[in-house]
Structure 1
Amino acid sequence: MIRLGDGGADRVVAVGAHCDDIAIGAGGTLLTLCTARPGVRVDALVLSGGGGAREQEERAALEAFCPGADLRLTVLKLPDGRVPAHWEEAKRAVEELRGRTEPDLVLAPRTDDAHQDHRGLAELMTTAFRDHLVLRYEIVKWDGDLGRPVAYQPLSPETAERKVRLLQEHYPSQRHRAWFDREAFLGLARIRGIECHARYAEAFAVTKLTLNLGG
């Protein structure tokens, strides 16, 4: 069943095409969830960046974004920008991830993301996690593909600031990018906060969910 408000999430899956995708798209949500539920299991999969400095950044970052969690991270070595050309390997990794966990919540890219790697991973997730609540995060970038989300996780000012600080601290390889700065991350969080009557928030697309209004 795909449910909303069903007693919290004890098992979470988080996937990204690149190191930093999960933290940018759902870092505040992970901070909020892991702080509220110590010991939550987080199975994370990243398709590219393995075996080098980027993987080291990702491991340190997700440890910080998932405080007190049982974090299980896999970082593959698919070439950046080439996920569609490595479909079989990516699909196998997603299926292996599905085989080792039964999550209450899945955090994944949007199926209409402008980046082909994000979009390819998003499409693979629909084949493996068919009966799960999948929140599809957004990533600010040059393409300008931000849409109109339907689900929001409000963030306290402290959590929003902590997210931005951790991004800057743990991903030094990305600091040269024009969009990788405090104003971009905090500005988007402020806009999403306005949309859900909060100071800050992260926003998600949802393809399908089941309500349980009658208890």
Structure 2
Amino acid sequence: MIRLGAGPLDRIVAVGAHCDDIAIGAGGTLLTLCRARPGVRVDALVLSGGGGEREQEELAALDAFCPDAELRLTVLKLPDGRLPAHWDEAKAAVEELRAATEPDLVLAPRTDDAHQDHRGLAELMTTAFRDHLVFGYEIVKWDGDLGRPTAYQPLSPETAEAKARLLEEHYPSQRHRPWYDREAFLGLARIRGIECHARYAEAFAVAKLTLDLGTSELGD
């Protein structure tokens, strides 16, 4: 499998429309990155779920998914499923996040996600983080919108198992959902692992990136 490295990652931005989006879409990647680089800064923004049980779940979960990281989490109170009606508030939050950090990597929903809140947030991210490496994560759902990803982060079996366990442990409010279980999380990770010659993996959409293959001076 072709491998490209991003170099040292000191600052990461992770955003979600709902509490648990980040952990479902990129929890294994966050575990891998934070374990490899203690002290990495993670600025996280979630648009809905603030002020209640969901916010407390998210804080505990991201603490677990970002071990030894400098985690800065903001959870807003925008209503679930109503992002288009609250576009200005969401855009202001994304712009505020952009002003607060200069990330090496951005983890966000995919622009072709079938959920309008996910898709809307993804579109906002491309307007604010225009010169950054943005990985669009995927969330398994009833809509059946999983596609053909362009980038993979292999996960060790231990990391994949930890992700599934932490998702079940830290989001009790979601356990009633028929798709929210260990089989779904590990099943998708196994499929993505097959696609990149690994046991497990998370997959991402990458719209645009610039290569540095030892010839960066040519662009100066």
Distance 1:9 1:192 in 2: 23
Distance 2:81 2:8 in 1: 35
Unpaired segments ≥5 residues, structure 1? none
Partner residue in 2 for 1:213:
213
Partner residue in 2 for 1:124:
124
Q: 1:110 is aligned with what amino acid?
A: R
Local SS of the residue matching 2:15: strand
State the Cα distance separating 1:162 from its structure 2 match.
Answer: 0.1
User: How do 1:62-81 and structure 2 match up within 5 A?
Assistant: 62-81=62-81
TM-score (norm 2): 0.95
Local SS of the residue matching 1:119: helix
Partner residue in 1 for 2:218:
none
Partner residue in 1 for 2:20:
20
User: How do 1:1-215 and structure 2 match up within 5 A?
Assistant: 5-214=5-214
State the Cα distance separating 1:192 from its structure 2 match.
Answer: 0.1
Q: 1:159 is aligned with what amino acid?
A: T
Q: 2:162 is aligned with what amino acid?
A: R
RMSD (Å) for aligned C-alpha atoms: 0.7
Unpaired segments ≥5 residues, structure 2? 216-220
Aligned length: 212
Cα deviation code 1:46-83 (max 9, x no counterpart): 00000000000000000000000000000000000001
Higher RCO, Cα 8 Å, sep 6+: 1
Distance 1:5 1:201 in 2: 16
State the Cα distance separating 1:6 from its structure 2 match.
Answer: 3.9
State the Cα distance separating 1:213 from its structure 2 match.
Answer: 1.1
Distance 2:31 2:184 in 1: 19
Cα deviation code 1:10-65 (max 9, x no counterpart): 00000000000000000000000000000000000000000000000000000000
Local SS of the residue matching 1:113: coil
Local SS of the residue matching 2:147: coil
Q: 2:78 is aligned with what amino acid?
A: L
Identity over aligned residues, as a percent?
88
Cα deviation code 1:152-191 (max 9, x no counterpart): 0000000000000000000000000011001100000000
Distance 2:126 2:102 in 1: 15
State the Cα distance separating 1:97 from its structure 2 match.
Answer: 0.0
Q: 2:190 is aligned with what amino acid?
A: R
- Structure 1 residue ranges (4+ consecutive) displaced by more than 6 angstroms after TM superposition: none
